[in-house]
Structure 1
Amino acid sequence: MSQGCPQGVGRRTPYGRDAHYEHKLSRSCSGAAIVTGSTGGIGLAIAKGLADAGATVVIYGREQERVDAALAQLRTTRAGAQARVVVADLGTAAGCQALIDAEPDADILMNKVGIYSVKAFFDIDDADWEAFFQVNVMSGVRLARHYAQGMKSRGWGRIQFISSESALNIPAEMVHYGVSKAALQGLSRGLAKVLAGSGVTVNTILPGPTRTEGAIAFIAGMAQERGVSATEMEALFLAENRPSSLIRRFANPEEVANLCVYAATPRPAQPPALLCRSRVASSKASPDARGAWDTRLGIARHAANLY
């Protein structure tokens, strides 16, 4: 890493499997790696991956019990991991300020916190729209506005917004969610222009259906309604709602996290902003094959063996 954060040391891989992860993040970075929404699912998987890469991780959540459980899991599965916790509600300006007060500096900011719900468009009232934008969009705006300034002054930083493929393929039953995720792409692109040439990169990651706790519960509920098993319901959901899926299954949180961690290392020689869609199989691969991810804009392509 340049200027503020020394070049990655060693040649270990964050997950011990992928030769593309050639750099290790240095613990001597002046700031931490903040991962919002990191008490479970993709966020916790990202926190674990960054800890594996040597970053000091800040786990964030709204509930003390869940934050403590995530920290315990991280330290149990990652011996020697350096981690801290912050409990706040990032759906408010005061909550964002509480995180900033607790962690004034960061070299890596992963904006993962978000909410979603299934609701008919005509039933989504103004309060719903406001809640979704405060959590899914304004939390990222407020945190990036603060942390990007320090990154710019130090000459190095990584900012990611974890969006969703729903930003491009907006679900009819979750229009408010899809619109809020689409807004992150505009935010990311605009911020990348602001930070162009500063050594700070800004990326938007768009995962497809992922086997998180919420998704598992969602599929289980649908399975019960339709009288099928959860496994059968997952296949039905993909066939009916994601027929273009290449892997024909839900991704695992670790697969998405691998891409996020890679983009957070010093290695990627990429333009300041790439709109990345997480893909774990190429178009010629079998459904179970591990393949490649590429950017939506076609700027770069990198084989990444997403485990």
Structure 2
Amino acid sequence: MSRPLAGKRALVTGSSAGLGEGIALRLAQDGAAVCLHGRNETRLAAARDRVAEAGGAVHAVAGTLSDDAGARAVFDGAVAALGGIDILVNNAGGESAGGGTTPWLDADADTWNATYNSNVGSIVRLVRLAAPGMREAGWGRLIQLSSESADFPMAIIPDYQASKLAIRSLTRSLAMALARTGITANSISPGLTHSTGPDRWLKQMAQANGWEEDWDSITRHVQDGMIANHAGRIGDPADIAHAVAFLADPRAGFVNGIDIPVNGGR
């Protein structure tokens, strides 16, 4: 089995479940030493054990990224475990601070600030900590998770959608700021993909609309509606992990400053 990331060290934020755990698993399978991150120590330990089954060195560090001190503690813990960070996958964040159905005019400035702090501020803090070491080493990968929702804004959760578009912009400017250093900065925009938040939302949608609540039925209704895609299915964490693994690969060094939509062709 090819292990293109052998010798590389990766920190994957927000990886105690869902997309983050799937990404960590794939990077471990590709040979990287991986450090998982999350806020719930019990869930984080369980995810670490599952990823460890893929082989290789797997560590975990718990903590918040919502302030400078918390981000520094997470970063220092990952460096202590791995010896350094070559690959940073910024997956941590969440839905609108006001909830998953917040109308535009109900999202006040405090809600916007909280959402941006979670989805953008966490990235800024960790990039500022990780990039100097990568620049000194002459190699690095900075990979951010955006969302296709930035391309299909709705009248609800405007703070969330705007924050995801901001991630693409900061990634492009970051690629320019780190030009000719051996570091690449790219983002990935998942479409509707099975994970804790989206699955909860889909179940709620099924109940509200009187759909059958098995996944085959939910998928059929989704594909008949506004979130249809050419693949005809809901994404899996592995779909996103494959794209992350591509960007992390040393052979992807000429891919820089872009966003990759992984959405089944919506």
Q: TM-score, with normalisation over the residues of structure 1?
A: 0.79
| DSSP-derived class of the 1:171 partner | coil
Q: Establish whether residue 130 from structure 1 lines up as the match of residue 113 from structure 2.
A: yes
Q: Deviations over 1:196-248 (max 9, x none)?
A: 111111001011000112212211111112111134333333443224x2113
2:25 to 25, 29, 48: 48
8 Å CA contact 1:121–1:172 kept in 2: the answer is: yes
Alignment correspondent of 1:183 = 166
The number of equivalent residue pairs is 256
Task: Tell me the CA shift for residue 50 of structure 1.
Answer: 0.5
Task: Tell me the CA shift for residue 168 of structure 1.
Answer: 1.6
Alignment correspondent of 2:225 = 240
Aligned-residue Cα RMSD (Å) equals: 1.7
2:63 to 88, 100, 103: 88
Alignment correspondent of 1:250 = 234
Bigger helix fraction: 2
The one-letter code sitting in structure 2 at the alignment partner of 1:83 is V
Q: Which moved more, 1:89-98 or 1:147-156?
A: 89-98
The one-letter code sitting in structure 1 at the alignment partner of 2:27 is L
Taking structure 1 as reference, are residues 124 and 279 closer, same or farther at Cα in structure 2, changes over 3 Å only? closer
Task: Tell me the CA shift for residue 103 of structure 1.
Answer: 2.6
Unaligned runs of 5+ in 1: 1-11, 14-22, 284-307
| Percent identity of equivalent pairs | 33
Task: Tell me the CA shift for residue 279 of structure 1.
Answer: 4.6
| CA–CA separation in structure 1 for the residues paired with 2:253 and 2:52 | 32
| CA–CA separation in structure 2 for the residues paired with 1:269 and 1:146 | 21
8 Å CA contact 1:163–1:182 kept in 2: the answer is: yes
Taking structure 1 as reference, are residues 82 and 249 closer, same or farther at Cα in structure 2, changes over 3 Å only? same
2:249 to 246, 251, 265: 265
The one-letter code sitting in structure 2 at the alignment partner of 1:165 is E
1:97 to 63, 72, 77: 72
| CA–CA separation in structure 2 for the residues paired with 1:89 and 1:234 | 34
Alignment correspondent of 1:19 = none
Taking structure 1 as reference, are residues 111 and 169 closer, same or farther at Cα in structure 2, changes over 3 Å only? same
Q: Deviations over 1:250-305 (max 9, x none)?
A: 11110111111111011124242121111556x9xxxxxxxxxxxxxxxxxxxxxx
Taking structure 1 as reference, are residues 118 and 81 closer, same or farther at Cα in structure 2, changes over 3 Å only? farther
8 Å CA contact 1:74–1:81 kept in 2: the answer is: no
| CA–CA separation in structure 1 for the residues paired with 2:233 and 2:194 | 9
Runs of 4+ in 1 over 4 A off after TM superposition: none
Q: Establish whether residue 278 from structure 1 lines up as the match of residue 255 from structure 2.
A: no
**More relative contact order, 1 or 2 (CA 8 Å, 6+ apart):** 2
Q: Establish whether residue 114 from structure 1 lines up as the match of residue 93 from structure 2.
A: yes
| DSSP-derived class of the 1:173 partner | coil
